[in-house]
Amino acid sequence: MTTTGSTDRIPAALRTEALEQLLTERGLIDPNVMDKFITNYETNVGPLNGATVVAKAWTDPEYRQRLLDDGTAAIKELGFAGSQGEHIVVVENTASIHNVVVCTLCSCYPWPVLGLPPSWYKDPAYRARVVREPRKVLSEMGLELADDVQITVHDSSSEVRWLVLPERPDGTEGLSEDQLVQLVTRDAMVGVAKVQAP
């Protein structure tokens, strides 16, 4: 039984295949539906969605305000909604305020805008430590923050999901919205990096 580990545990890949067979041959699941889920998260639902939201907020002050006032509605304006996005709160990083997001209890993450979470977000070290020593964790991950920057960590313990609106970097004044989209990274929208000018 899989709740107990043992040295002769069958590898996950083989157990996955076995489980899929068992459910498919009884007609309980449809492998074509599985394929659609997988393809959707590999190609459609990813951080490009969030980057689109961020670039619009950087170039449209009224949209930015709507986004900060009601993230879910403003994100839905751009067509992004769905699982793990029932209620999204957007917080803004500035030169003096830095927000960073975690889920210590599992790995809750705003799927409609960022897709599925990356390895570091799901790793025990990040889940355990960023709520205890965020400045040190961010430094390990390559983000050095000045001593006077106020850090707020958001632990996503309910169905509320958090999205960071990163600070727009200097030197990007002449860029179009489409060009800005290309600069915005997943890591900046979780709060473990800053957006860099090209």
Q: Which of residues 25-44 bind another protein (CB under 8 A)?
A: 26, 28-29, 33-35, 37-38, 41-42
Q: Which of residues 37-76 bind another protein (CB under 8 A)?
A: 37-38, 41-42, 46
Between 27 and 61, whose beta carbon lies closer to another protein?
27
Could you confirm whether 106 is annotated as catalytic? yes
Q: Give the Cα separation of 33 and 116 in Å (integer).
A: 18
Could you confirm whether 103 is annotated as catalytic? yes
Shortest Cβ 61–another protein spacing (Å): 23
- Residue 186 as a binder of another protein (CB under 8 A): the answer is yes
> DSSP assignment of 76-93, as one string?
HHTT---TT-SEEEEEE-
Given 49, 52, 93, 156, the residue binding another protein (CB under 8 A): 156
Between 6 and 174, whose beta carbon lies closer to another protein?
6
> What sign does the dihedral 155-158-164-165 (CA atoms) show?
negative
Q: Give the Cα separation of 23 and 172 in Å (integer).
A: 52
SS3 188: helix
| 191: Cβ contacts below 8 Å, ≥ 6 apart | 93, 98, 99, 100, 101, 164
Q: At what angle do helices 31-39 and 12-25 cross, to 10 degrees?
A: 130
Shortest Cβ 63–another protein spacing (Å): 21
- Residue 125 as a binder of another protein (CB under 8 A): the answer is yes
Stretch that binds another protein, among 14-22, 52-60, 63-71, 174-182 (CB under 8 A): 14-22
- Residue 195 as a binder of another protein (CB under 8 A): the answer is no
- Residue 93 as a binder of another protein (CB under 8 A): the answer is no
Shortest Cβ 20–another protein spacing (Å): 6
Q: How many CB atoms lie within 10 A of CB 95?
A: 9
- Residue 126 as a binder of another protein (CB under 8 A): the answer is yes
Count Cα atoms within 13 angstroms, Cβ side, for 9. 12
Task: Given the residues 83, 106, 139, 157, select the one marked as catalytic.
Answer: 106
Active site members? 103, 106-108
